[in-house]
Amino acid sequence: MKPNESSKTEITFEDFKAEVLNDYKIAVTSRECSLLGRREVLTGKAKFGIFGDGKEVPQIAWAKAFENGDFRSGYYRDQTFMMAIGELTIEQFFAGLYANTDINEEPMSAGRQMGGHFATHSLDDNGEWVDLTAQKNSSADISPTAGQMPRLLGLAQASKIYRHVEGIDDSKFSKKGKEVAWGTIGNASTSEGLFFETINAAGVLQVPMVISIWDDEYGISVHAKHQTTKENISEILKGFQRDEHGDGYEIMRVNGWNYPELIDVYQRAGQVARKEHVPVMIHVQELTQPQGHSTSGSHERYKSEERLNWETEHDCNLKMREWMVANSIATDEELAELEKQIKKSVRDGKKAAWKAFINPINHELKEILSLLDNLANSSANGAFISKLRNDLASMDEALRKDILAYARKALRFVVSESSSAKTELQNWINAYFEKIQPKYSSHLHSTSKYSALHQKEVSPVYDDNKSLVDGRIVLRDNFEALFSKYPEALIFGEDAGKIGDVNQGLEGLQEKFGPLRVADTGIREATILGQGIGMAMRGLRPIAEIQYLDYLMYALQIMSDDLATLQYRTKGKQKAPLIVRTRGHRLEGIWHAGSQMGGIINLIRGIHVLVPRNMTKAAGFYNTLLESDDPALIVECLNGYRLKEKLPSNLGEFKTPIGVVETLKEGDDITLVSYGSTLRLVEQAAKELLEVGIDAEVIDVQSLLPFDINHDIVKSVAKTNRLLVIDEDVKGGASAYILNEIMNTQNAFQHLDSQPKTVTAKEHRPAYGTDGDYFSKPSIEDIFEVVYGIMHEANPSDFPKLR
């Protein structure tokens, strides 16, 4: 369904008519898909529908300006655009609606996202980059309102980096930075902070970004008068218009039903962004939404009769049709016949998509019905099993959930029996899980040869010079080695550039590598993350710096909904190997305490969470990650930059393994598990415990996600028979996660002679000052006394009660 590749200079009137007719065909096809898609939801074949009806004509115009190498970062109403660039067929549209798990049938997400969420494939089946410059690209959508905006910024910034930074191998990623990043958003969603943050950042950075604002005057049922000052987003943003006084945006307005004007506006917008690297905002007004917001409700409930009549008259497809007839491009009869053919094509495509979806399931259904027949014939409870079998067979459209649920229930009737039919059913269920579960659960992390878990440890090497340096020097010199080794690597954040970050871990690097590779940003954490995601999706290796761990909260939604899910929601067809750098642990005061780990590790599954105890370990993690293709968060110890460490001689080469714990002190009486800055308190407590005859083993977790992949902690517990987890997070936070991993994943409970315990921070955030830290977070004395209490309970004669 690609538009005609007509010359952009001179074409005949017949060629022009053919192109317009093809555009109209795409628009009508998209509309028919929306109409029929809604019916599929209401009849129960699909779960939910949200469609792009009413936005067809402007998306046709947009597609004409969209070139190979360009990227889309849109929202869930861009189906016409995807059809127009040849990346969405009728069958694929319905495959998405039905949640087909076959990536070949449903290439957007293999059924993992609801319909309307679109993506192209940036990676081949081995996780290797394809040539992004040879195709039209769409970054994978997310549902959260305005969540696509931060990533859009990074997709655009990548072109600026490729245009101005020398030495990068851009062969698969850019043609001299001429690519444009195109974003879309609904007018109501411009009320979100992520929209305003991104708009400001793009104006500052001057990147080739075009944002289309689809304005149909509503946000679900809420009118624009409740959404936007002056009910007009381009009006209130006109101060961003570039002029003789400074850089800014080109701001354009156009009615969404005016086909020729839309084409002109989008061509001009693309040229400005592509050639001048100036961001452009297109406010597409007077749009409609014929079926309302989604299948969850009807817009007749909240729109007046007058508004509904206006929408009927100003429907963009209808207005394009009227323009075509008025300009002798086609007659009413010709268009009616075309529309009739399109309706049939959409119905046929829908049927084909349903058949492709249901046939494999029907085959599985036949298998289980046969097994249940065999089980019923061999069981004393055959009557009950036959009823289960018949209930399943009588379902109109059984799904995999039904097949497996009935198969598992059948086993309950033969729990005390022994037969070949029972064994066959058990084996079938186990094999079914093994075959089907990956369709819904695979690719949370990279499965390529570049996976971080495939990187082998390389130990730091030290020369004969035993002098010590500040920990920040280890980081700084290692970053210098990395930026020399990887031209595509860059780092950016608040105070990261000119002053070399607040702790001088980047001291002098901007002078050496330039302000594009070691860059300052504004105070805007969400778009710092977005810059990193977008640039990583285009082959660069960004390190996004969030100044303190507490500030990660501003970017957590983007990390959780976008970065962490990217490989999963594309079933391994897109990746963004972004490294997020921050610092935390044990700083004093409510807003700089760095103790949100429990929330972080449960919200960003899909991102590695690394908690090195010193800067050498941190540097090793950076080295590991730059040879891998997984995203990660590294939390440096804030109070460790001035602590002394030896400076390795193999900077940029030594690697800290991910998911591997380290035993810092061996012992026989109890296993102490911790990480980060608190680990230093644990080590001191262990020394003091030795003075009273308690020999503790101390283990550094190093990596929270993934956690102890070799199960070394349970080996320690098997030796000591006691366990204490020490964490500066609140009760039930990271300590509960660690304890669950040790108890339930590693099954350490079977080795315990004492109750496993945790030492954590108080439930409130830490009070300011040294005393505030002492009374808010675990202290050496807290650790000592809890360990002593465990030993007292086990052997009160040797360890009398302390207090």
Active site residues: 592
Cα–Cα distance list, 322 to 317, 328, 329, 332 (Å) = 9, 10, 10, 9
Answer yes or no: are the C-beta atoms of 66 and 273 closer than 8 Å: no
Cα–Cα distance between 580 and 637 in angstroms, integer?
14
Q: Which two tokens stand for residue 775?
A: 């009374």
The residue among 88, 118, 99 whose CA lies nearest residue 439 is 99
The residue among 245, 161, 243 whose CA lies nearest residue 208 is 161
Pairing status of strand 280-285 against strand 209-214:
parallel
DSSP code per residue over 661-676 = -EEEE--SSEEEEE-T
Residue-wise burial string across 474-490, b where 16 or more C-beta atoms lie within 10 A, e elsewhere: bbbbbbbbbbeebbbbb
Cα–Cα distance between 160 and 272 in angstroms, integer?
14
* Residues contacting 736, CB < 8 A, separation 6+: 598, 758
User: What is the number of alpha carbons within 13 Å of residue 226 lying toward its C-beta?
Assistant: 6
Q: Kindly report whether the peptide bond that precedes residue 150 is cis, defined as omega within 30 degrees of 0.
A: no
**What SS3 state is found at 184?**
strand
Q: Which two tokens stand for residue 558?
A: 């983007």
Answer yes or no: are the C-beta atoms of 473 and 501 closer than 8 Å: no
The residue among 176, 142, 175, 139 whose CA lies nearest residue 154 is 139
Strand ranges for 230-367 from DSSP E: 250-255, 280-285
Other beta carbons less than 10 A from residue 12's beta carbon: 10
Torsion angle defined by CA atoms of residues 616, 618, 621 and 622, in that order, rounded to the nearest 10 degrees: -100
Q: Which two tokens stand for residue 304?
A: 């007046």
